[in-house]
Amino acid sequence: MSFFISDALAEGPAAEQASAITGLLPLVIFGAVLYFLMIRPQVKRQKEHKKLVEALAKGDEIVTTGGMAGKISDLGENFLLVEISDGTEVKVRRQAIDSVLPKGSLKEL
């Protein structure tokens, strides 16, 4: 009846450890590549955006993520009042600010 079950050949413990290390090596390399190509740049962008949002001041000319440009007329803890034209103000979340323009950029429009 030994033709149904092959005889087990014993291998030394060193062979088991080597196969475990080589089995984990691709996962470790994949994790490192994922971290350096995707996670680290995203965290860096989040920190830069957080600094930009915290540094906003009254009178700054900004562009929102929706593309609306205007000048900050009032600051709140979570919201801003942005003047998009003479006498027209819109309430915008702080996190919706995409970039701060150089002073005088909106007068050219």
Q: Are residues 62 and 104 in the same domain?
A: yes
Q: Are residues 64 and 85 in the same domain?
A: yes
CA atoms within 13 A on the CB side of 48: 9
Quick one: pLDDT at residue 109? 53
Q: Are residues 46 and 87 in the same domain?
A: no
Q: 57-97 pLDDT, tens per residue?
A: 999 999 999 999 999 999 999 999 999 999 999 999 999 99
DSSP result, 6-45: PPPPP--HHHHHHHHHHHHHHHHHHHHHHIIIIIHHHHHH
pTM tops 0.75: no
Q: Are residues 50 and 66 in the same domain?
A: no
Residue 4 within a domain: no
Helix (H) or strand (E) holding 49: helix 40-54
What is the domain extent for residue 96? 57-108
**Residue 36, both tokens:** 């350096």
Q: Are residues 32 and 74 in the same domain?
A: no
Q: Are residues 99 and 75 in the same domain?
A: yes
Q: Are residues 48 and 62 in the same domain?
A: no
